[in-house]
Structure 1
């Protein structure tokens, strides 16, 4: 593997270091030996800082309605709008302790409402627009809003979101960016933006403490009914500081800085003048209703005075082309995505070297999360980078986290040989490995772990063990027992694994990754079946290419099933049957999240009939 120069520079990226602690009960933990440095008191401090230091720098951009240009907001303009909307919210004298619910997609107006809410010590909660726009059954949205009990609801357009809001029987003020006059008593965001700010905003801002609730993020519901995870300002600000101490290029300061940061431990001393700060530039579609897009990515931009170009595209047919256009125009420095997003961009870039060169020209890294990157995708991205920017290998990296940890727990801040490693604990975090059913369950302590679920004491208590570790439900193992600094390997969800009728455990996560890679480019994703059955089976979601050429997809499936059987891999790793599904994952039923990954349990529950067909023995559609 060709070396990536800046990864060897401790002024740019922290060297991989970790400490292992063994316990008498057979468990052990890993933590960073580096102390967490001071961090911001609240989210609003970032907005205040850059409005003061770089008021003319771009903060947010989104496509204009005609799609030809960009609507842009500088940090000075962002602070102005945040202050004015915050004042309008104070003037409404909303009931205390109740959040502001936001129903719309990512947008500048969405960001202003969310940041204004947090600027005066209130909590915001962004809900997936799919619950309002992509269904005629608003039952899930109604349940979420009943759980939240919002003081106010914001949506981009009264025409688009009005039916959903009306179905939820809310007796609260509603704010819209468009067509507010078509909603009884509707408030126009433009009018809120024109409200003169008074010292009351500063007074409310100064009253915020690190423990003040900043956001409520709703869990996916994969293990039950959705819960509102509390995200405090402490969690969110500390998490960005953790990552900045690891990706040090984010913290590069101006040449006028008094002195460079001190070295850590036995790392080389930093010599010479401090390099200029590198503000991150992103093109990002990941929804702010989830922690990856709303906390990790948006907050990284705000924490470091960067620019976020809101991507109206998605990893879906007919929308991925919009993403490609935006990436080409902006030329981001960091590229965050889920594996499906990279999978759908690759064919476009592989067919157009000029596009690939534009997209990759300024990239420091391509970062994948929410699911593992398949080996074939890893290889194709690396080969593409070598072709269009020879001598500058692309850093492919990842981390591991969740909604309840705001989100990052680990970081793979070194060159990896391939997918699977999720890095090591960030400063301020500890990962404990507890034996559980043949695996090592990972449990978490640290400054960015949530205090609990809002108004759910029983669920909160169940989320933590007797020693106060958060039980995230994932399993992991060391890549190298003798060298823990080489990182942790993700080993699937503890709750997803199952036993065959023979009593053999099936490790779902690693098996799924292997098979999706071996079946590229015909398969988009798959679900592993076999609980209490005699053999492993597969429910297969075809890729667009696989759906267009079903005979070739079937041939590829038969070849993989036959090869794994001939290799004698054993019943836990050798599927015997597969069924290609004729409908895609259903978002309303929870089969796929906004981030684009499969919810194994939801698919198995909703498609129990298809699971039965796999094992019927006489269904001609089943591939064996």
Structure 2
């Protein structure tokens, strides 16, 4: 009897990587420009029910068992040691046997609470191989949050990174009356304990668990970071992961299908995007590394030499602002800013039929020698692409990085879509968009302007929450993203803001905060910004200062060092912020423009409850925390009708 194929390649005519035409009559003309109302990405790879996550790993091992799959940094020094596919597979099998030996039954939930490190990836794949349900917990979670996840997911075992986290988890278990839950710590020989438990477990038992999995089997429950209300447990199946991973490889083989592909993972593995990336990278042909401590990121990038980077826009903003500030004043700063302008012009020229002029090419070559080469070395000197997501990136910054030789492929995704939903491709990147939908997803724009999604990587529902699940879908089965946007004729998605964040002024003007906040966040002095003005006569903004960049900015402007509190009322700092606001206002109507700002004396952080673990601002919490400040801007609270 022949083996069922892992996946079936479609005929050549169905594997085109060029955008398909929208269906006739399925487009509209807005302001003289053609927009699609619905977009269906081509299906490039079909999978069968056996194409689970462990199956993808097994296929990788079969293709090249002796080729490196994982690179682990040695504890001493900056050397990375390669682990072959066969060695990683053996570690997964041994660990899976240990998890079974601990008494975990098929389908049981095991929580992982740790920073991004090799052991997380090992536990993830071992849990899947043993037919278990790995559930991530952010390492910064409170006791209350840990307790909620343990109860909601019916967790049967927990592996934490530190002994302190283990104590938090044990306390949560005691409060729930669940003293039979196994709680281990990586810092206290958790992996050895697990391996020891598997010594008497036959490999046939592990294989039976793995073979029982199908694409419909639940692979994980990811709890949303909760910018509003209590987090919801997003149920994601093996098929959600594998169909997206295989089609993403077919859609963009340049990223991870080459043997020279190298990804250094530093995003939190508690976040679904990082979880998808590990599956994506390990099912390709390249190598995966981990960086637990973000403080070591630049040195780790320099030694690991990734071929592509996955970042949030704030990282790109900080690199640019830091490079500009470190150039100092005078001649060096003039050279840097000249080079930055050349990079932007060069990238913009690449989008024209004529391309860069001879003069611009000469300037670009000179700027490469003087400036760009140094920035490229900061990220290892081997990166070919930057994939940016999580928040909008300013078009100027996207052009800057693309112009210096690091094309930015901006993307968009949600926990409910296993991370990436759309992304610009190396072949055609439209700066200002988040690219076309990844195959085989479909995107539609509702009459209200909301982005709707349908396809195999869309989650199956919220755990133990049928009401929220029903509310998340339209009657005909499209997932409601909550984001507002549009589609151009080629199917490229533009995001204009969150539906729930839209501000309606007292004059009835609808304002999307993101269109003002995103340009301002790129200023070196600004850490965070929240636009306010709902039911108010005009728009204002709360601004926090970046403590790291503040001192460099003051030094470069000939000003003495000062605290955040002092800077918040300093006339020169305020003047710089007002100029930044004026530039942001140029892109909106007067009714949408910011009229007043208030500089706060403390930043938004995860510790003070104003940022999610994935570094998104909890807008509702900020508005509640600073309600009196907002009232003072307008001379009092909103007048009730």
Is the pair's TM-score, using the shorter chain for normalization, greater than 0.5? yes
User: Which residue is 1:454 aligned to?
Assistant: 463
Q: Distance in 2 between matches of 1:581 and 1:66?
A: 42
Alpha-carbon deviation of 1:570? 3.2
Q: Distance in 2 between matches of 1:540 and 1:121?
A: 48
Distance 1:614 1:294, change over 3 A: farther
Distance 1:193 1:449, change over 3 A: same
Matched residue SS, 1:423: coil
Spell out, residue by residue over 1:481-527, the C-alpha distance to the aligned partner (whole angstroms, 9 max, x if none): xxx1162211111111120111110112222223334xx12212211
User: Which residue is 2:155 aligned to?
Assistant: 150
User: Which residue is 2:515 aligned to?
Assistant: 510
Counterparts of 1:28-427 in structure 2, within 5 Å, are 28-38=37-47, 41-66=51-76, 68-70=78-80, 72-95=82-105, 97-131=107-141, 138-169=143-174, 170-171=178-179, 172-179=181-188, 188-192=193-197, 197-250=202-255, 277-278=258-259, 280-295=261-276, 297-314=277-294, 319=295, 322-346=296-320, 353-354=373-374, 356-357=376-377, 359=379, 361-383=381-403, 385=404, 393-413=405-425, 419-427=431-439
Alpha-carbon deviation of 1:129? 0.3
Spell out, residue by residue over 1:379-413, the C-alpha distance to the aligned partner (whole angstroms, 9 max, x if none): 44245x2xxxxxxx322112221111112222211
Alpha carbons 1:217, 1:290 under 8 Å: kept: yes
Distance 1:288 1:456, change over 3 A: same
Q: Distance in 1 between matches of 2:87 and 2:195?
A: 14
Question: Which deviates the most, 489-498 or 242-251?
Answer: 242-251
Alpha-carbon deviation of 1:415? 6.2
Matched residue SS, 2:601: coil
Alpha-carbon deviation of 1:164? 4.3
Alpha carbons 1:20, 1:28 under 8 Å: kept: no
Q: Which structure is higher in helix share?
A: 2
Matched residue SS, 1:229: strand
Alpha-carbon deviation of 1:280? 2.3
Q: Distance in 2 between matches of 1:562 and 1:175?
A: 54
Alpha-carbon deviation of 1:109? 1.5
Q: Distance in 1 between matches of 2:519 and 2:183?
A: 48
Alpha-carbon deviation of 1:34? 4.5
Alpha carbons 1:22, 1:29 under 8 Å: kept: no
Matched residue SS, 1:367: strand
Q: Distance in 2 between matches of 1:226 and 1:568?
A: 35
Q: Distance in 1 between matches of 2:224 and 2:608?
A: 14
Match of 1:602 among 614, 621, 631: 621
Distance 1:45 1:312, change over 3 A: same
Distance 1:587 1:54, change over 3 A: same
Q: Distance in 2 between matches of 1:128 and 1:113?
A: 15
Residues 1:444 and 2:453 are matched in the alignment: yes
Q: Distance in 1 between matches of 2:40 and 2:202?
A: 45
Matched residue SS, 2:225: coil
Alpha-carbon deviation of 1:559? 2.1
Q: Distance in 2 between matches of 1:313 and 1:598?
A: 22
Alpha-carbon deviation of 1:562? 4.8
Question: Which deviates the most, 116-125 or 26-35?
Answer: 26-35
User: Which residue is 1:528 aligned to?
Assistant: 531
Spell out, residue by residue over 1:354-392, the C-alpha distance to the aligned partner (whole angstroms, 9 max, x if none): 463363632221110000112343244245x2xxxxxxx
Q: How many residues align?
A: 551
Matched residue SS, 1:41: coil
Alpha-carbon deviation of 1:414? 5.0
**TM-score scaled by length of structure 2:** 0.79
Q: Distance in 2 between matches of 1:568 and 1:19?
A: 30
Matched residue SS, 2:435: strand
Matched residue SS, 1:304: coil
Q: Distance in 2 between matches of 1:417 and 1:210?
A: 32
Alpha carbons 1:18, 1:31 under 8 Å: kept: no
Question: Which deviates the most, 284-293 or 589-598?
Answer: 589-598
Alpha-carbon deviation of 1:158? 2.6
Matched residue SS, 1:495: helix
Q: Distance in 2 between matches of 1:546 and 1:359?
A: 20
Alpha-carbon deviation of 1:282? 1.0
Alpha carbons 1:18, 1:424 under 8 Å: kept: no
Alpha carbons 1:178, 1:188 under 8 Å: kept: no
Spell out, residue by residue over 1:301-348, the C-alpha distance to the aligned partner (whole angstroms, 9 max, x if none): 11103212112343xxxx2xx111111112111111101122233456
Alpha-carbon deviation of 1:563? 5.8
Alpha carbons 2:39, 2:491 under 8 Å: kept: no
Alpha-carbon deviation of 1:568? 9.7
Alpha-carbon deviation of 1:416? 6.7
Q: Distance in 1 between matches of 2:313 and 2:584?
A: 24
Alpha-carbon deviation of 1:146? 1.9
Spell out, residue by residue over 1:239-263, the C-alpha distance to the aligned partner (whole angstroms, 9 max, x if none): 11221122033575xxxxxxxxxxx
Alpha-carbon deviation of 1:82? 1.1
Spell out, residue by residue over 1:446-495, the C-alpha distance to the aligned partner (whole angstroms, 9 max, x if none): 0111110112111111111111111110111134xxxx116221111111
Distance 1:416 1:600, change over 3 A: farther
Matched residue SS, 1:526: strand
Alpha carbons 1:121, 1:213 under 8 Å: kept: no
Q: Distance in 2 between matches of 1:423 and 1:218?
A: 26
Alpha carbons 2:138, 2:613 under 8 Å: kept: yes
Alpha-carbon deviation of 1:188? 2.3
Distance 1:601 1:64, change over 3 A: farther
